[in-house]
Amino acid sequence: MKMLSADQIREVVKARSEKRAVSDKKVMDIREEMWNLHDKGEIIVIPIEKKNKPVTVRTLFGWEKKVPTDHLWHHKSCGQCGNIPGYPASLLWFMNQFGTEYLNEPHQTSCTAWNYHGTGTSNPVALAAVAVRNWHRAYETGTFPLIHCGTSYGDYKEMRKLIVENKEVRDKVRDIMHHMGKELTIPEEIVHYSEWVHVMRDRMAAMSKYDLSNVTATVHEPCHYYKMVPEDAIYDESVHGGQRPAPPTALMISLGAKVADYSTWYDCCGFGFRHILTEREFTRSFATLRKIKPMVEEAHSDVAITTDTGCVTTLDKSQWIGKVHGMEFMVPVLADVQIAALAAGAHPYKIVQLHWHASPTEKLMEKMGIDYTAYKNDFMKYLEQIKNGGEIEYLYTPHREMEKYFAVNKGQVLPEGMKSRTG
Amino acid sequence: MICLASPRILVIGGGPAGLSASIDLFEAGADVVLVEKEDVLGGTPKKLHYSLIAPDLKPVEEVLDPLIRQVESSAVTKKLGTVVSAIENGNGHVNVTFTSNGGKEEAVFDAVILATGFTHWDPHKKYEYGYGVYPDVIDFKDFEKMLSDDNLARPSNGKMPARIGWLLCVGSRDRQVGKFYCCRVGCAVSIKQAMEVKKKHPEIDTYIYYMDIRTYGFWEDQLYWKAMEDLNVKFIRGRIGAISKGDEGSLVAMAEDTILQRPSEVPFDMLVLTTGMEASQGTVEMAKLLGLEMEEHGFVRPLEADSLPVHTTVENVFVAGTATGPKAIPDAITEGSAAAIKAFNYVRRSRGKKATGRSMKKDARAYAE
Amino acid sequence: MSILKNLPQRKDEQYPSMIIAGAREHGEQPHELANKIFSEMRGDFRYKEFVLGCLNCGECTTGCPAARFYDFSPREMLQVAMSDDPDVLLDAMQEKIWACCQCYTCNMRCRFGNDIAGIISVMRELAVRNGLESAKEVLKPASRSLLKVMTHGTQVSPDMIQPDFFIDWDPKAVSKTGDLIALRKAIPIDVLQVTDSSWEVSMQTALELAQIYEESGVLDMLRSLDPDLVEMIVDIISDWKDEFEEMKEKFGI
């Protein structure tokens, strides 16, 4: 079948009458009730302030959502940091280019929801308390949390709803927080890094040094970005007629790539939380047969782009074993921010850290016009230098030794038994 | 003093309900104005070129044209291509401003019958089905026109389809899109469409995906049973959850066959989405101008849904047809007549009394007696 | 009637109910553990929010990745959640609940607005809390990441991604054992230059997490699944608490 590019799809949709501008689903906007609780002194809402330079976007029902672009607190992702370190590095690299203020601290835990969705070993109070503990760290440092992981993003929205709607959970979580000298805080918006990328896409594209017009990309939309709390995901009428989430398709279009449609675009990647660790015959079969195969055979994709940790891992690492069945797809899988960084001239290995990816990325770089051999040699030299105790390059000044132990801010340890403002 | 002037009644909307109301009012001796925003009479069934009408499977022309001709040949004042742009209702008079290409015009009435109808739900809002992305996914009003034009062809390539599927309840009975109610006619119309296809082209495979089949009353044996027994229309109990593209330009309908309890993926050449009904823009706008209450599904609230179905919450405003909720064409025609007699009697009775255009919410029962 | 008599008393007549399974012999009582789990599920505040009703349309199952590979369907799981027969619930909790991928496609599709992935999570919690043998079996291979999350707060670490555990991943992508330390150092972000955690989590943060697990009852819950693991976690945390006090002195805090 003839493939439709995103532009062609847009034309088809334009030709039909009305778009999905505002759906009429009757869903309560939880953010309204959240502000009521703030006014009653039950919680503290971490506001998006002028210094955060917010950009307003539209979500599924045409609701407005503010995306802060400055003074951000990086809420890191287990899998990204663990096996795709170029993912957060590319993001921080861009922020350095834009002069964005941020904190990337050791005083963060994961949302623990990967574990919960995989094993069921947690409960609503624990999940909510973990969320608030992290949010509070952004609150006390005067920054706004930017969530790197799709599951954390979905989980935090569920936790926000839970805390706002359920007084019993709210009271329990507040108690736990008070025991640690913290407040019950909830950020004004739960913001995914891909939403930051989405609103910065034109500035990223303006930095482009390499050409993506020869590149056909397929997009995998992470489930927990848009299926878990559908009403809060970004939609834009100019992307797939507003019928699919806007990020990261809009970025790829801004970068000048062709975005190709494929039949299983809505399917999950096969991560399965439990399955990726302990039931991988499912994960690799699903990823290969339901995602990679249609991406390559239907859409002739040069690269698969997604915006979540688990999806990059699953789609990337599940391909190699396909050789056993004669399926050698080997399509590179990158996060949106990684390919944007490559296009903008970031070092493919020092910054984008492509050597952690299982599926080869060289062909893609060749198509973009990147001389990867030179970069590779450069990186190998750098690695030798590190092994010999040489200097290490950083994106920001490393934390002090004491911060391995203490969540200090401006040289101060948090006052114990801090007087509570909520209760 | 008894006023001998004829009741002056405005009928808004020239579909089945408005046509039937106009005819009965005229025959009873009222002074009737029928306003219609389109340039032709007949409402949505004519505008969208419906094909055969259930239950007798008569062409839409046979059903509605006699009504249209009756109105056209009568002394009912027809205002086509005209909209109501302002209404003032008080002291028993309804002052109405009409707007058309010819400019503005005002008139006074004793009562109004609202027959502004429904619109087919827009399936763009259900992303799973790729309406607007895949050309061969169409909705049942598109298909009705194809049948009416006798031009059964795939939009993608103009070729005759070998296998067609229908998916019922798109934009009906669905919390995800805020449409909680049943459209009442989708099952019957889809089965009727499949029967039309099979009668002309027995070689085409037809599949209907459903979660419940609601073919009320005589539609059961006249449509549902007949479709299975005589025409080999296939029914699959399970909804299509997503439509995707398949090999060689086909579409793949993914569903769970809930009877066999297993996933099913069937290639189709065309898929028809049986979309639900929602109140038309005209209904919503007119209700606002007239100060009518709406009920929770977004339609006009009848004064009493059970016993006063054509009265509204404003005493000199009456309502007929799909403005109060999904209905079949015969029901809309019946309601047109009912609203006509209620409006006519209301004006006769209230002459000499000082009507106020007041809200009828509290004393509904007293009013009815 | 005899079957109905055996059903536990419902606390709330509002529960939607679509299946009364009648497979039990006349007079036979439902399993005691099944009764316990059944009332725990019905008593959970999430039950009424997550389980609303079902039109049996099958759209949930259509989009379900697990339904393609396992004997599993979200529609069936919702019917199980609505069934008034505790044995039906316990039976599904042995294996089927673990097939779910938690991708939430069913939730987004469900026209009735059920939270199917959510009620499956509740069932998983119950399987763990009640120490079902099947849950122990299923979660055995997850103990490494459980220990990691309970102590470090991150769920996977670079040194976990080894060829023995990830035999089907490209060996090039996993066997970085030799130069793992150097490769981590070559990441230009200081807190990522560790191998035993996704990122370096400060001790205060780890202790706060432990406090959350303790106060919210997660450690107790885990005890019914794997008491040895809990023992190990408690030991580690206790050591860290001592070390934390020492560090306070060292840094003059």
φ, ψ of residue A3 in degrees (nearest 5): -85, 140
Nearest CA to B238 out of B265, B253, B252, B256 is that of: B256
A12 interaction partners in chain B (CB closer than 8 Å): 132-133, 135
For C62, the closest of B174, B256, B261 (CB atoms) is B256
Give the residue from B79, B168, B162 showing the smallest Cα distance to B126: B168
Residue contact C186–A379, C-beta within 8 A: yes
Residue B191 burial by CB count (10 A; 0-12/13-18/19+): exposed, middle or buried?
buried
Q: What is the pLDDT of residue C156?
A: 86
Please list, residue by residue across A35-55, b when 16 or more beta carbons sit within 10 angstroms of its beta carbon and e when fewer do: eebbeeebbbbbbbeeebebe
Select the residue of B211, B212, B241 nearest C109 (Cβ to Cβ): B241
Would you state the structure tokens that stand for residue C166, as one six-digit string? 């990830």
Taking residue B136's Cβ as centre, other Cβ atoms within 10 Å add up to 21
SS3 A307: coil
CB contact under 8 A, B132 and A266: no
pLDDT in tens, B57-90: 899 999 999 999 999 999 999 999 999 999 999 8
Q: Among partner residues B133, B242, B252, which is closest to A243 by beta-carbon distance?
A: B133
The pLDDT tens digits for C35-85 are 999 999 999 999 999 999 999 999 999 999 999 999 999 999 999 999 999
Q: How far does the CA of residue A267 sit from the closest CA of chain B (Å)?
A: 10
User: Which residues are CB-contacts of A54 (< 8 A; sequence separation ≥ 6)?
Assistant: A48, A66, A67, A68, A69
Amino acid at residue number A186: I
Contact call for B240 and C62, based on CB within 8 A: yes
Q: Between chain A and chain B, how many beta carbons pairs sit less than 8 Å apart?
A: 59
Tokens describing residue A298: 């239907």
Q: Which residue would you say has higher pLDDT here, C157 or B344?
A: B344
Query: H or E element: which one contains B124?
Result: none
Quick count: other Cβ atoms within 10 Å of Cβ A231? Answer: 17
Considering only residues A5 and B124, tell me which one the structure prediction assigns the higher pLDDT: B124
Cα-based distances in Å from A208 to A7, A202, A257, B108: 21, 10, 12, 67
Query: What domains, with CATH codes, occur in chain C?
Result: 2-130 (1.10.1060), 141-250 (no CATH)
C142 contacts A125? CB cut-off 8 A = no
User: Which residues on chain B are in Cβ contact (under 8 Å) with C67?
Assistant: 256, 263
Convert the pLDDT of each residue in C164-204 to its tens digit.
778 888 777 665 555 899 999 999 999 999 999 999 999 99
Q: Under an 8 A CB cutoff, do C179 and A108 touch?
A: no
Are A325 and A29 a contacting pair, CB within 8 Å? no
If you ran DSSP here, which 8-state letter would residue A322 be given? G
Domains of chain B, earliest start first = 8-119+278-368 (3.50.50.60), 122-275 (3.50.50.60)
8 Å CB contact of A13 and B125? no
Retrieve residue A251's tokens. Answer: 């970025």
**Tokens 């790197």 sit at which residue?**
A148
> How many angstroms away from the CA of A1 is the closest CA of chain B?
5
Contacting chains of A (3 CB pairs or more, <8 Å) are B, C
Name the amino acid, one letter, at A82. Answer: G
Question: How do the pLDDT tens digits run along chain A, 423 residues long?
Answer: 344 444 544 444 333 323 333 334 346 788 989 999 999 999 999 999 999 999 999 998 788 999 999 999 999 999 999 999 999 999 999 999 999 999 999 999 999 999 999 999 999 999 999 999 999 999 999 999 999 999 999 999 999 999 999 999 999 999 999 999 999 999 999 999 999 999 999 999 999 999 999 999 999 999 999 999 988 999 998 888 788 899 999 999 999 999 999 989 999 999 999 999 889 899 999 999 999 999 999 999 999 999 999 999 999 999 998 888 888 899 999 999 999 999 999 999 999 999 999 999 999 999 999 999 999 999 999 999 999 999 999 999 999 999 999 988 643 333 344 444 444
In angstroms, what separates the C-alpha of C21 from chain A's closest C-alpha? 27
- Complete edge-to-edge strand list for the sheet that includes strand B77-80: B77-80, B31-36, B8-12, B111-114, B317-319
Distance CA A159, CA A151 (A): 12
- Going through A85-174 in order, the beta strands assigned E by DSSP cover 102-103, 144-147
Count helices and strands in chain B by DSSP H and E runs: 10, 20
Please give the Cα distance from C86 to A334 (Å, whole number): 46
Distance CA C225, CA C237 (A): 19
Q: How many CB atoms lie within 10 A of CB B229?
A: 10
pLDDT, mean of residues C136-144: 90
Phi, psi for B114 (deg, rounded to 5): -95, 120
Q: How far apart are CA A107 and CA A104, in angstroms?
A: 9
Q: What is the least distance, in Å, from the CA of A138 to any CA of chain C? A: 13
Q: Where are the alpha helices (DSSP H) in A166-234?
A: 167-179, 193-206, 223-226
The H or E element that residue C172 is part of is: helix C171-174
Q: From chain A, which residues contact B within 8 Å (Cβ)? A: 1-2, 4, 9, 12-13, 16-20, 23-26, 240-244, 261, 263-264, 266, 298
Residue in A97, A42, A98, A46 with CA at minimum distance from that of residue A75: A46
Q: Which two tokens stand for residue B311?
A: 């009265």
CB A241 within 8 A of CB A377: no
- Asked if C185 and C194 touch (Cβ cutoff 8 Å), the reply is no
The Cα of A56 is separated from the nearest Cα of chain C by a number of Å equal to: 25
Q: Which domains are delineated in chain A?
A: 30-187 (1.20.1050.140), 195-379 (3.40.50.11810)
